[in-house]
Amino acid sequence: MESIAQLKQLLANQVEWLSHYGADSDGGVTRLLYTPAWLKAQQALAERMREAGLDTYYDDAGNLYGRLEGTEHPEEVVLTGSHIDTVRSGGKYDGAAGILAGLACLRRLYAQFGRPKRTLEIVSLCEEEGSRFPITFWGSGNMTGRWSMSRIPDVADAEGVSLGQAMADAGFGPGTHRPCRRYDLVSFIELHIEQGMVLERLELPIGIVQGIVGQVRLTFEVCGETNHAGTTRMAWRKDAVAGTAEMTLALEREARSAGDPYVATVGKMVVAPNVSNVIAGNVLFTVDLRHPDALSLEAFARRIVERFYSIAAERSLQLSHRQWMHADPVPMNEELVHRLEQTCKSLQVSYHEIHSGAGHDAQLLSAVCPSAMLFVPSRAGISHSPDEYTDAQDLAVATRVLADTLYQLAYVGGQRQA
Ligand SMILES: NC(=O)NC(NC(N)=O)C(=O)[O-]
Ligand SMILES: [Zn+2]
Ligand SMILES: [Zn+2]
């Protein structure tokens, strides 16, 4: 493999290159699923994969793969990769880091050692974030059976375009490419930015993820009464914004008093009619709840929902809600974690055992194959922001660890992983 200095330069250049697809004027990146920016990025990546000697293909959902077919066990696939969709006004590293690192690994491994014994693939997954449509993990979910092309969820984006239509417009959908579901994966390793401050504070270049937090997302609709801001006495109002504010603060109080590691967020509100001299009659807002323990998370979600309904009743507001996302907390595969630790030790790279408070595709893939993750530090812990930044040196070191681990899994031996 090239030196760390060369790898650092390569990765820094590639991060800039990929960030041009969907670049915002403020330095951020917006690549929403099936939009032209997203599609062009997938096509450009496919080109780079082919230049590296990989065979490329898409599945029906739009996941892009680059493949090095195994010489001895082609039916056993060692997979790496991450996602290229971003949140609105996101950064250059979330998702992209794992794809560019993975591509650098496969390029070098192929150039140096030729074809592996087991098949080695990289995947650029679609819609991890749930930014355009109210569904998350659409790409990895289709691979693992969580989602299916035969039951495309009836959801639409903010402009009213349905998921099925957007998918078809981008050239994907049932029967357009290869089937999504994978039964041949033997390991998945995802490199990702930490999106937190733990590694930076410890001044360590690598986190080996032990487990991923569980999460629940819900949308609430508060219905009050639209009325005149000047002539409606305070006692007569059914103010949907005031009710939403009370619910939001109640949520914050509940999470704080429950203590770490509970986190709860109202990240989106849509107010109608959203006019300065009109009492709002309607608010839609989302709630994102997370905890590493499944039962605690479930109980917390129930408590919050009950609390919101009682606030609505006290204010004579109508309330309805829908839970549209649930991801179980999952541990990472012990054997792969151990292997990553051994690789770090043999390369004399210091690491930290870390838990992920963010959701990841590895969470879904761990249901179908041993899965693990490597984290690289995020400057000031900032992510989902144009200010997201990861030092190319750290990225290069982690890429080296990833490459060595993929080498062991795909080139050495040929026995199935436990
Ligand atoms: N790594 C992420 O930013 N993931 C995000 N997206 C999902 N789907 O969990 C999140 O909100 O944590
Ligand atoms: Zn993200
Ligand atoms: Zn991500």
Domain ranges (residues) in the chain: 4-212+329-410, 214-327
- Angle among Cα 66, 71, 75 to the nearest 5 degrees reads 65
Q: Does pLDDT of 349 surpass 80?
A: yes
Other residues' Cβ atoms within 10 Å of the Cβ of residue 19:
20
Distance CA 117, CA 270 (A): 53
For the entire predicted model, the pTM comes to 0.90
Domains 4-212+329-410 and 214-327 share a fold: no
Percent of the chain clearing pLDDT 70 (strictly above):
98
Other residues' Cβ atoms within 10 Å of the Cβ of residue 160:
7
Distance CA 124, CA 103 (A): 10
The ipTM estimated for the assembled molecules is: 0.95
Nearest in space to 14 (alpha carbons), one of 39, 37, 47: 47
Write down the H helix ranges in 89-239: 96-113, 138-144, 163-169, 198-202
Q: Which two tokens stand for residue 297?
A: 């998370």
256-274: pLDDT as tens digits: 999 999 999 999 999 999 9
Output DSSP code: residue 332: P
Please give the pLDDT value at position 416: 44
User: Which one of 127, 129, 287, 326 would you pick to mutate in the ligand 1 pocket, going by the greatest count of ligand atoms within 8 A of its CB?
Assistant: 129
- Ligand that comes closest to the CA of residue 97: 3
346 C-alpha to ligand 2 centroid (Å): 31
CATH code given to domain 214-327: 3.30.70.360
286-333: pLDDT as tens digits: 999 999 999 999 999 999 999 999 999 999 999 999 999 999 999 999
Q: Which residues contact 188 (CB under 8 A, 6 or more apart)?
A: 79, 80, 362, 365, 366, 369, 370, 371, 372
95 C-alpha to ligand 3 centroid (Å): 4
Tell which atom from ligand 1 comes closest to the C-alpha of 215: 9
Nearest in space to 115 (alpha carbons), one of 66, 74, 71, 79: 71
- Dmax (CA) for the chain in angstroms is 79
Please give the pLDDT value at position 362: 97
Distance CA 81, CA 378 (A): 19
Please give the pLDDT value at position 417: 42
Distances (CA, A) of 348 to 108, 192, 357: 21, 21, 27
174-224: pLDDT as tens digits: 999 999 999 999 999 999 999 999 999 999 999 999 999 999 999 999 999
Q: Which two tokens stand for residue 220?
A: 């609430």
20-74: pLDDT as tens digits: 999 999 999 999 999 999 999 999 999 999 999 999 999 999 999 999 999 999 9
137 C-alpha to ligand 1 centroid (Å): 9
Tokens 């880091």 belong to 97
129 is in an annotated binding site: yes
Distance CA 31, CA 323 (A): 25
Residue closest via CA to ligand 1's atom 9 equals 359
Topology annotation, domain 4-212+329-410: Aminopeptidase (3.40.630)
User: Which one of 287, 360, 376, 384 would you pick to mutate in the ligand 1 pocket, going by the greatest count of ligand atoms within 8 A of its CB?
Assistant: 360
* Cα-based torsion angle of the residue sequence 202, 206, 208, 214 in order, rounded to the nearest 10 degrees: 70
CA 125 vs. chain centroid, Å, equals 9
Q: Which two tokens stand for residue 226?
A: 């639209």
331-344: pLDDT as tens digits: 999 999 999 999 99
